[in-house]
Structure 1
Amino acid sequence: MAASDRSGQSTGAALPGLAPAPPPVAPWSDRLRRSAVVLLVAALALVALVVLGGVPFARAIAVFVCIVGAALIPWQLHDAQQSRGEAIGAAPVETPVVRALIEGMPDPAVLLDRAGRVLHFNIAAGQLAPALRRNELAQFALRSPEIITALREAITYAQPRRTSYVDHVPVDRWMELVVKPIAVPTAFGGTDYCMLMTFHDQTPLRRVEEMRADFVANASHELRTPLAALSGFIDTLQGPARDDAKARERFLAIMHTQASRMARLIDDLLSLSRVELSAHVRPDTLVDVVPIIREVIDGLELLAKERQVVIETDLPAGAVTIAGDREELLRVFENLIENALKYGASGGRVMVALTVAPATDGAPEVRVMVRDFGPGIAPEHLPRLTERFYRVDVGDSRAQGGTGLGLSLVKHIIGRHRGRLVIESVLKQGATFTACFPQPKPPESA
Structure 2
Amino acid sequence: MASSAEQAGGGLIAAMRREWRLFLLLTVSALAAIAAGLPWYWVALVWLILVLAVSARPPVVMPVAELEKFEEEELASDPLPSITATLSALDIPVLLLNAEAIVLWENKAAEKALGLLPIGSHLSARLRSPGILDMVKETIATGEPNQIEHSERLPSERVYLLRIAAMEPLDAFGAEKLFLLSFKDISELRRLDRMRSDFVANASHELRTPLASLRGFIETMQGPARSDDAAKERFLGIMLDQSTRMSRLVDDLLSLSRLELKSHIAPDQSVDLRPVIGHVRDALLPLAEELGVEIRLHLPEQKVEVLGDRDELVEVVENLIENACKYGQEGKFVDVFLRNEPSQPVEVSVVDRGPGIPAEHVPRLTERFYRVSVADSRSKKGTGLGLAIVKHILTRHRARLIVKSELGKGSEFTVRF
Q: TM-score, normalised by structure 1?
A: 0.75
Residue 274 (structure 2) pairs with residue 290 (structure 1): yes
Q: How large is the Cα RMSD of the aligned pairs?
A: 3.0
Q: Which residue of 1 aligns with 2:390?
A: 410
Q: Which residue of 1 aligns with 2:374?
A: 394
SS of residue matched to 1:183: coil
Instruction: Return the match for 1:66 from 43, 50, 53.
Output: 53
CA distance in 2, matches of 1:98, 1:300: 68
- Please report how far the alpha carbon of residue 342 of structure 1 lies from its aligned counterpart in structure 2 after TM superposition: 1.1
Aligned length: 365
Residue 157 (structure 2) pairs with residue 177 (structure 1): no
CA distance in 2, matches of 1:64, 1:149: 60
Instruction: Return the match for 1:368 from 324, 327, 348.
Output: 348
CA distance in 1, matches of 2:412, 2:392: 18
CA distance in 2, matches of 1:389, 1:316: 35
CA distance in 2, matches of 1:156, 1:150: 10
- Please report how far the alpha carbon of residue 187 of structure 1 lies from its aligned counterpart in structure 2 after TM superposition: 6.4
- Give a deviation string over 1:152-203, Cα, whole Å, max 9, x none: 2222222212122222222332222111101124269x76531111011222
Question: Bigger CA drift: 331-340 or 210-219?
Answer: 210-219
Kindly tell me: are residues 103 and 402 of structure 1, through their superposed partners in 2, closer, same or farther at Cα, counting changes over 3 Å? same
Kindly tell me: are residues 187 and 123 of structure 1, through their superposed partners in 2, closer, same or farther at Cα, counting changes over 3 Å? closer
Write out aligned runs for 1:34-433 (5 A).
66-68=53-55, 90=77, 92=79, 94-95=80-81, 97-186=82-171, 192-357=176-341, 364-433=344-413
- Give a deviation string over 1:204-257, Cα, whole Å, max 9, x none: 222222222221221111111111221122122222333333332222221111
Q: Is the 8 A contact 2:78 2:172 kept in 1?
A: no
Structure 2 unaligned regions, length at least 5: 1-12, 24-48, 60-69
Q: Is the 8 A contact 1:357 1:367 kept in 2?
A: no
SS of residue matched to 2:192: helix
- Please report how far the alpha carbon of residue 91 of structure 1 lies from its aligned counterpart in structure 2 after TM superposition: 5.6
Q: TM-score, normalised by structure 2?
A: 0.79
% same residue: 46
Aligned residue identity for 2:252: D
Q: Which residue of 2 aligns with 1:59?
A: none
CA distance in 2, matches of 1:357, 1:144: 57
CA distance in 2, matches of 1:390, 1:120: 46
CA distance in 2, matches of 1:116, 1:241: 75
- Please report how far the alpha carbon of residue 112 of structure 1 lies from its aligned counterpart in structure 2 after TM superposition: 2.5
Aligned residue identity for 1:67: V
Q: Which residue of 1 aligns with 2:37?
A: none
Write out aligned runs for 1:427-446 (5 A).
427-437=407-417
CA distance in 2, matches of 1:242, 1:63: 127
Aligned residue identity for 1:260: T
Aligned residue identity for 2:154: V
CA distance in 2, matches of 1:434, 1:168: 35
- Please report how far the alpha carbon of residue 435 of structure 1 lies from its aligned counterpart in structure 2 after TM superposition: 1.1
Kindly tell me: are residues 64 and 121 of structure 1, through their superposed partners in 2, closer, same or farther at Cα, counting changes over 3 Å? closer
SS of residue matched to 2:355: coil
SS of residue matched to 1:365: coil
Aligned residue identity for 1:343: Y
CA distance in 1, matches of 2:361, 2:52: 91
CA distance in 2, matches of 1:347, 1:207: 38
Question: Bigger CA drift: 280-289 or 264-273?
Answer: 280-289
CA distance in 1, matches of 2:275, 2:382: 26
SS of residue matched to 2:169: strand
CA distance in 1, matches of 2:128, 2:235: 65
Q: Is the 8 A contact 2:98 2:176 kept in 1?
A: no
Q: Is the 8 A contact 1:372 1:430 kept in 2?
A: yes
CA distance in 2, matches of 1:244, 1:68: 124
Q: Is the 8 A contact 1:166 1:174 kept in 2?
A: yes
Q: Is the 8 A contact 2:148 2:162 kept in 1?
A: yes
CA distance in 1, matches of 2:126, 2:177: 21
Structure 1 unaligned regions, length at least 5: 1-27, 39-61, 73-82, 438-446
- Give a deviation string over 1:292-321, Cα, whole Å, max 9, x none: 111111111111111121111111222211
